[in-house]
């Protein structure tokens, strides 16, 4: 029986799944967003052969998509990747990074599923509920659900279904590239979620906030330096 540390307590995989099912009932799936002046991208990377979890949050002005703040948190990795339990592995570092921010984001775009999850509680729901901030899940790959064929043109959109239930939207953010799997995280409707994702695109497959978070989470190159220079310039 595999167990892991979460919120100062040891959980078994079965207990973690039960917790997700219970927490999913607290997710607000209608719009409770207010005016959005800042949107943050959230992503996680791993260092030291996976022993260190590195979360990055990049806050951008909306809708100009200018970087206005960012934070990086490195914590020891608490558990391996288990499909469906990704958030237990990533949320601690993400929540830590969120607390380090100077500029509080009005909306979160999380790299991963939100409601499009077997128990309707992907990482975007987990982070959104525990932080209290409206959140959207933006995944590059499907975890569950089925959908009709999607036209190759940009802005094509089809529903992601699990039986008769709509759990998300499949959006072609760029012509000819693999689509994005958009689903609600917390305090937002699916329709608004898709609109915010589209309004955060800047010609690339991924929304700008997530592109920034991706770079900052993977610690590659001189992205942190570049981000730092942009921030001091805007002071």
Partner DNA sequence: GCGACAG
Partner DNA sequence: ATCTTGTCGC
**Residues forming the site for DNA (CB under 7 A):** 43-46, 50, 81, 83-87, 111-113, 117, 122-123, 137, 139-144, 176, 217-218
Rounded Cα gap, residues 105 and 124, in angstroms = 14
Residue with Cβ nearer DNA (103 or 159): 159
- Contact yes or no for 91/123 (Cβ under 8 A): yes
Phi, psi of 140 (to 5 degrees): -90, -15
35 is in an annotated binding site: no
Rounded Cα gap, residues 169 and 160, in angstroms = 5
Structure tokens at 15: 């207990």
Structure tokens at 221: 């190159």
Residue with Cβ nearer DNA (102 or 155): 155
Coil vs helix vs strand at 18:
helix
Sign of CA dihedral 191, 141, 37, 66: negative
Q: How far is the CB of 96 from DNA (least distance, A)?
A: 16
Q: How far is the CB of 190 from DNA (least distance, A)?
A: 16
Rounded Cα gap, residues 136 and 209, in angstroms = 12
Rounded Cα gap, residues 217 and 224, in angstroms = 9
Q: How far is the CB of 142 from DNA (least distance, A)?
A: 6
Q: How far is the CB of 117 from DNA (least distance, A)?
A: 5
43 is in an annotated binding site: yes
Give the Cβ contact number of residue 38 at 10 Å. 17
Q: How far is the CB of 46 from DNA (least distance, A)?
A: 4
Q: At what angle do helices 123-131 and 13-24 cross, to 10 degrees?
A: 60
Binding-site residue ranges: 43, 111
């Amino acid at each position: 029986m595999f167990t892991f540390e979460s919120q100062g307590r040891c959980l078994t995989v079965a207990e973690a799944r039960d917790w997700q099912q219970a927490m999913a009932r607290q997710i607000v799936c209608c719009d409770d967003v207010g005016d959005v002046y800042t949107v943050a991208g959230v992503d996680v990377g791993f260092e030291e052969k996976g022993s260190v979890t590195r979360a990055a949050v990049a806050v951008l002005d909306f809708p100009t998509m200018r970087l206005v703040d960012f934070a990086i948190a490195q914590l020891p990795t608490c558990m391996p990747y288990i499909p469906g339990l990704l958030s237990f592995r990533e949320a601690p570092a993400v929540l830590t990074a969120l607390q380090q921010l100077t500029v509080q984001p009005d909306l979160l775009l999380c790299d991963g599923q939100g409601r499009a999850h077997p128990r309707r509680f992907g990482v975007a729901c987990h982070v959104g509920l525990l932080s209290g901030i409206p959140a959207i899940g933006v995944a590059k790959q499907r975890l569950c659900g089925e959908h009709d064929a999607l036209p190759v043109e940009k802005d094509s959109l089809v529903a992601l279904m699990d039986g008769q239930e709509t759990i998300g939207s499949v959006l072609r953010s760029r012509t000819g590239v693999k689509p994005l799997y958009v689903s609600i995280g917390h305090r937002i409707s699916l329709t608004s979620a898709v609109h915010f994702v589209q309004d955060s695109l800047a010609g690339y497959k991924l929304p700008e906030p997530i592109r920034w978070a991706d770079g900052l989470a993977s610690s590659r190159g001189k992205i942190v330096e570049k981000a730092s220079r942009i921030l001091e310039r805007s002071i």
